[in-house]
Structure 1
Amino acid sequence: MLCVVYKSPNKEGAYLYLERRDDFRQVPTALLDTFGKPQLITVLNLAKREHLAQIDIHKLQAALKTQGFYLQLPPPPENLLAQHKASLQNDKG
């Protein structure tokens, strides 16, 4: 299974995976509006891979088959203030 990867010019760390190059028919218009003009990154052969860096490859393949696309968003930023407060509470206890 081949997969085409695009990055978002609007949201750093957001990637859109499609089965076919430039085939955005199944991607909701609102998502594309937010994503911005997709910028082609690479084409991957998923059959030759056991895993990807930040995506469960089985979830990716399932999403491509069922909805025709997969959207990867960056993880939420760490809340360093909350972590600091929690460590202060742990030091007191």
Structure 2
Amino acid sequence: MGDQLVFVYKSLKKNNMFLYLARKDAFADVPSGLLDAFGAPKFVLMFALSKKCTLVKVTHEELSKALTEKGYFLRIDIEDEEENLLNQERKRLGLPPLEKFPMK
């Protein structure tokens, strides 16, 4: 069996909220209450989920299981208040903010 395609949408209503779908535009799998809270989804990315794929904030197994069982996965990135305070202080000192996920 080949790699599973994953379709990623971001919320225009809530910052840092992403919806991963097993099929493009398959919102029928997502509960209506969740879609109401998510708001209008904006397609941002499609990728092939493979064991070689490095994911951020979710494991390959978690994502694969959710997509297989439910057809979707919701990711909410919660801002780290301590990190925000550190970057506020860096800004006050004229320093650039720290990057969350440095590019390799």
TM over 0.5, shorter chain: yes
Deviates more, 1:68-77 or 1:7-16: 68-77
Q: How many residues align?
A: 80
Do the aligned partners of residues 14 and 21 (structure 1) sit closer, same or farther apart at CA in structure 2, a change above 3 Å counting?
same
Structure 2 letter corresponding to 1:46: L
Q: CA RMSD in A?
A: 1.7
Q: Find 2:20's aligned residue among 5, 12, 17.
A: 17
Question: Match of 2:47, SS?
Answer: strand
Q: CA deviation at 1:55?
A: 1.5
The normalised TM-score by structure 1 is 0.78
Post-superposition shift, 1:79?
5.7
Unpaired stretches in structure 1, ≥5 consecutive residues: 81-93
Aligned counterpart for 1:4 among listed residues 3, 7, 12:
7
1:24-80 C-alpha deviation (Å, 9 max, x unpaired):
111000000010010000101012633212221210000000111000001254268
Q: Describe the SS at the equivalent of 2:54.
A: coil
Between structure 1 and structure 2, the one with the greater Rg is 1
> Which structure ranks higher in relative contact order (CA pairs < 8 Å, sequence separation ≥ 6)?
1
Structure 1 or 2: more helix by fraction: 1
In the alignment, structure 2 segments of 5+ residues that lack a partner are 84-104
Q: Percent identity?
A: 36
In 1, Cα distance between equivalents of 2:79 and 2:46: 26
The alignment status of 1:36 with 2:36, answered yes or no, reads no
